[in-house]
Structure formats: C-alpha cells, structure tokens
Structure 1
Amino acid sequence: MNAKPPAIRCQNLVKIYEAGGQQVTALNGVDLDIAMGELMMLVGPSGCGKTTLISIIAGILDQTSGGCELFGENLLALRNKDKLLFRAENIGFVFQAYNLLPTLNAAENVSVPLIINGVKRAEAERRAKQILDKVGLGARTKALPAELSGGQQQRVAIARALIHDPRLIVCDEPTSALDHESGQKVMDILKAVALDHQRVLVIVTHDARIFNFADRIAEMDDGHILKVVNSAAKLK
C-alpha cells in the first residue's frame, strides 16, 4: 500500500528579494514535507527565513524557484483569482498581534471570514458563537477586544482562523506576547481543536516554552533547514 502524499511538500525552494539594488536570498534550497494531522514548528533566529517559508506555503509569496505543493496543488500555477479562492477555502491564519477589529465584538470578529465568503451575517454569527464556545469563550461572545485579556483575544483569533474549516492553520508567533499560562492554554486549544479533524498546523515561533507541543521541529538558519527533529528534547 502506498503511503499518503504529504499535505505540504517543499522541494529545493529558493526565494530571492531585490533590496536596494542588491539580491537577498531568504530561502536557499529548502526541502520539507509536512503530513496531514501534524503540528510542525519552524524555529531559528530572526531573519533566517521562517516567515518567508510559511508565506510561500500559504500562497502569500511566490518562490523564485523550486516547488511547493499544498494538498497536491501547485499554488504558483494558479491564476490570482483561483489562488485567492483556494486560500480562502483552505487556510486559516493566527498572528502574534491578533489583528482583531476593535469595534466588533468577539462573535462579529470571528464571523468575518464567513461573511467575506458569502455566508449571511446571522448564520455566520451563529457559527461563530459555536466555535467560540469550543475555545472556552462561550460567555464572552459580545465582548469587544479591549474587554478581553491577551490570551482571550488570541483565542478569538484562533476561532476566526478555524471558522471556515480550513485544512491548514498557519501561526506566526502565536504565544510570544502572552504569559506562560496563557500561552500554554492557547497551545492546548490549537493542538486539540485545530488538529481534531486531521488538519495540518505550521507554527513559526521563538517561544521555547511551547516546543513540547510540536510533533516535529524544523530548525532554520540563513535560509536553510539545518535539521528536523521529532522531539523538542533533541533540539539543542
């Protein structure tokens, strides 16, 4: 029996930026496979290529050369309209800064991706309240972001990333602005809820406190993946 193909396959990825008349190589021959149902963390110093790599995986950036497939789809080959549709259906994003709209309450913030995708507002907010309940905020659906703690705001952001049932969740530093307890709660939710339906989760982080949540960790430097380990205990 043939093994299932990886959810994400990067082969000899290169990304070169033009900056001030010079070329800067952000990724230099990256190979990485990530399986469905896996929580993969990308770690390494600032500027090593982590955010560039997840941006290419998520179809935000185009690579200079090499291949990247997401669920068997080569995003580089898609027209812009088709790429936007694919991302809207398949990818959810969680950011360090939460990016919540300050004038919308929790349920309204979470419902935004559904409304953008054409779901009627009442139905979008009904589904938003259901998923807020799953992340432990069922009693705070009408709270504005300013009325929530940092950890609660991040849980709203997670609910928003999950509301359209994407197959890939991409997180950029989701816990580095949180205290230890809040960060652990956020990771508990991400691992339990995001992977409940065999999604794939890719997290960029400097936060060593959460390494133990990873299935595998890819250590990066200077645009390369130095090693991929199966346990945080092996990352030294």
Structure 2
Amino acid sequence: MVSNACDKPVIGISCYHEPASWGVWNTEAALLPWSYVRCVSDAGGVPVLLPPSGADQRRAVSAVDGVVLAGGADVDPAGYGEPAHAETVSRPDRDATEFAMLRAAAEYGTPVLGVCRGMQVLNVACGGTLRQHLPELVGHRGHQPAPGEYGGTEIVLTEGSRVAALLGRRGGVHCYHHQAVDRLGEGLVPVGLAGDGTVEALESPGERFVVGVQWHPEQDSADVRLFAGLVEAARS
C-alpha cells in the first residue's frame, strides 16, 4: 500500500436510498452497511458513496478510480424482459443509477467490483437474465436461510481466473441471495460455482478489472482480498 493518503485510489460505492433512523432522526437517507466502507479503506482505497441519483453518472464515475456495486434489493425483471416473481422486491431507482455507472465505467475503463446484487446488475447490464427465485431451481434455501441470516456456501473457482488469483481455488463464503444468474451476459464468463451449480462469480476477460461475486466478501472483516484487487487495479 502507498503511504501517502493523497495517492490512494478513490473508490465509489453505490448505496441505497431508504428510510432510516439514527439519533433523534427518522428520515430518508443515503444508506450503506459500514462494512463496505471499512473494507475499501482497509484495502488501501478512499471510499466515497454514490447514491441513486439518476441515469447520467458520467461525471460521478469520472471522479473516482474504481466502483463497487454494493448488495441490495433485486434487479427489476423488466430490465431483462420478464414479469416479476412474487418473491421479487426491486428498487428501480438503483437500477437506473447502477446501469448508468456501468456504462460510464466501460467508457472510462474504470475497474468494477459487483457484490451480490452488484453481480446481478452487471450480468443484466450485459444482456443476461436472472433466475428470480433460486429455491425453485435448486430445491433448498441454503443461499439465504432466513431474513438477516447469511448462508455458508462452499465455492470452487476456475483456475487461471482473476478471482482465483486473488482468493485461491476453493473456500467458504457468506451468501445472502435468493436470485442468481440464468443466461449469462455478453462478454462475461462464469469463474465460480457452488456445489448446486449456482454461478457464484463471474468476470470479464481482458485487462480491465470487471468482477462480480454473488457472495458478501464485506462480511469477512479479516479478508479484503477482492477489494484489494479492485484498489490495485484502480491504482494502475
């Protein structure tokens, strides 16, 4: 890591627009779990929040060196031409903003890390689709056992992939998702699978760092390797 804070890459993290309570206040807020901020900072980046603010994100993305698409609600299935499943809960304002962030990131060559929902946004933005309720496909709820409870999932990563270079070939991860990649987006390759065949990681081949993981790496405070990979790509 560089010692001069001014040399640290600035990493924009997408966030929620949600009602929230703190202190004496109960109002709308730009909201993000602190774990994302901590992981970016511990990995050597300077974290800044990018709230849902419309479909023109070129100026915002031009001001950062890397982008994290954070976890959150489901992607609106209208974005991939399907009706909503009864279990689907979407935030169209986040969709519009994050799709725009990806377009701007592609234009500027900005590195991107998509986390959980962020990986699904990446896949849909590239023309892919999602399986809207995973338990109907795999026959269990291990990827999202209960509200607010992460599932422990064992994954296998593809040898030679960018993600495997950062994490190794195998490991246990924290999952919290009831949706998953169905048809893969153009230009993306699956590089990580759960035992039931669910795509848990994907990336775009080539020099630019474009990685999506279906799990929540920010939940392991001792392991910031994916965030460090993004920060290193942003630095270069």
* TM, length-normalised to structure 1: 0.31
User: What is the TM-score when the length of structure 2 is the normalising length?
Assistant: 0.31
Higher helix share: 1
Find the structure with the greater CA-based Rg.
Answer: 1
